[in-house]
Amino acid sequence: MVLLSKKKARHVIEEIIALFPDAKPSLDFRSHYELLIAVMLSAQTTDAAVNKATPALFKRFPSPKEAAEARPADIEPYISKLGLYRNKARFMHELSIQLLERFDGQVPKTRSDLESLPGIGRKTANVVLSVGFGIPAFAVDTHVSRICKHHKIVKQSATPLEIEKRVTDVLPPELWLPAHQAMIIFGRTICHPKNPTCDQYPQLYQFDSLNKK
């Protein structure tokens, strides 16, 4: 498979952004702590399911203090309809303790500190940095991965880290968050896992004008 050039790859992603210029995060949150927990809970679960669970969860555990003082078993009933809920309850409890002990109860603003927390990987850290703090970062989820492979922006065997590096090389930092948000909606509505309808959007494949720049 021949990969798109840097110019063509940027064109495809910018056209996706143009399709969904007002794309916003689909998880509900009111604080950095709620954002961190919501993104952690969304692993292998839909954002819609997380949004159903978090109002009661955050009412009972509005800050790290309440979650740290509870037991994982106290958290489990609030998220029992989410995938891997027992592990997630334990992560929420443990990371809340660490936020209190290491960061004065505040969510840290660096990737290394975020990834040092239980249950927090690179994708979650990137979402928290970009959505929560406005720090340029690009999170790779299943939608982003599928789109980048389907449109030959990366090779089929590309890892999430390789996809992240490719996209952040192709786009300027100010487009990383808009690209992530738009690609999520594009993946849900157009570039489906089965029977994608991307060919109904010819602008994605019109590269002639690039040669004139």
Instruction: Please give the positions annotated as active site.
Output: 123, 141
Beta-strand (E) ranges in the chain?
A: none
Distance CA 74, CA 72 (A): 5
The torsion angles phi and psi of 136, rounded to 5 degrees, stand at -55, 125
Task: Write phi, then psi, for 154 (nearest 5 degrees).
Answer: -135, 165
> 57: which residues sit within 8 A by CB, 6+ positions away?
37, 75, 78, 79
Contact 180, 138 (CB under 8 A): yes
Residues 116, 77 contacting (CB under 8 angstroms) = no
Could you tell me the maximum CA-CA distance found in the chain, to the nearest angstrom?
62
Q: How far is CA 85 from CA 35, 177, 213, in A?
A: 17, 28, 51
Nearest 5°: the CA angle 5, 163, 41 is 150
